[in-house]
């Protein structure tokens, strides 16, 4: 039948089956997830995020922690990330259960009133017991779309970190990092910039060293969000939430300080 043919009474029209594309993987419902709860009340939720879990979907990741936590708490009317952690960083992740709490906590972040401390292991012997690093950082994307950060004092954003040396061996140092600003990859880029890259860091670290470390039992980045302190958005009381160093990182630390390979 020609496309110009006009239908008349009595004509029979056959419509062939319509092929429907298969549902994209990203459209599938997020699988429910429960993480160890470090602190929870009617306003906020702090969970212990493992390494390897992205905090939200995107960039080839169907579902992150926030989508999966919502799926595991269908009764929750509101659940939003207060801040973010890199995928390979473990530790304290804070979420808001009310919009008013999210607004108040974001204001704390903007005013730099939230205290965030990380435990990190780096290459080399860090000389100073405390070192302040103030180096501007600029975000950019590689040709294949990967997000990266570079030191850029002219066009970058202010970034400040305080590092305190906790322990060290002949090869490595264990530090506490205090974030005074919250730029993307800030700790990792600052440490690489001063010549002490984070152990296991596949973006800014020492790749040959990382390969050797895998044979010694360190198969992830040694960066852990150990403590987060904030003012409670409803009560105004101080709250401090802590996450213990994961077993694999603690085993590596003990082995290094004992000068023995980890089990």
Q: Which residues are catalytic?
A: 86
Q: Residue 131 has which token pair?
A: 């070192």
What is the number of other CB atoms lying within 10 angstroms of the CB of residue 262? 15
CA distance 3 to 5: 6
Q: If DSSP codes are grouped into helix, strand and coil, which group holds residue 70?
A: helix
Q: Which residues pair with 163 in a beta bridge?
A: 131, 177
CA distance 213 to 107: 40
Instruction: Provide the 8-state DSSP code for 221.
Output: -
Q: Strand 137-141 vs strand 115-123: parallel, antiparallel, or unpaired?
A: unpaired
């Amino acid at each position: 039948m020609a496309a110009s043919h006009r239908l008349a009474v009595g004509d029979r029209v056959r419509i062939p089956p319509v092929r429907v594309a298969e549902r994209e993987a990203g459209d599938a419902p997020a699988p429910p997830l429960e993480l160890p709860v470090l602190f929870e009340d009617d306003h906020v939720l702090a969970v212990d995020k493992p390494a390897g879990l992205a905090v939200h979907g995107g960039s080839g990741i169907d579902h992150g922690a926030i989508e999966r936590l919502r799926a595991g708490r269908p009764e929750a009317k509101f659940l939003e990330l207060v801040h973010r952690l890199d995928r390979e960083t473990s530790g304290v992740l804070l979420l808001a259960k009310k919009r008013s709490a999210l607004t108040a906590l974001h204001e704390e972040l903007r005013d730099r009133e939230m205290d965030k401390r990380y435990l990190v292991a780096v290459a080399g012997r860090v000389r100073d017991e405390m070192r302040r690093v103030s180096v501007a950082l600029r975000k950019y994307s590689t040709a294949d779309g990967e997000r990266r950060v570079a030191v850029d004092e002219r066009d970058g954003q202010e970034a400040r970190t305080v590092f305190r040396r906790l322990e060290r061996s002949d090869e490595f140092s264990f530090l506490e990092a205090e974030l005074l600003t919250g730029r993307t990859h800030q700790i990792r880029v600052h440490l690489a910039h001063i010549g002490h890259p984070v152990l296991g860091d596949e973006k800014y670290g020492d790749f040959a060293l990382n390969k050797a470390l895998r044979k010694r039992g360190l198969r992830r980045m040694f960066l852990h969000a150990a403590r987060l302190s904030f003012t409670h958005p409803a009560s105004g009381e101080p709250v401090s939430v802590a996450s213990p160093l994961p077993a694999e990182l603690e085993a590596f630390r003990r082995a290094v300080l004992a000068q023995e390979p980890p089990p």
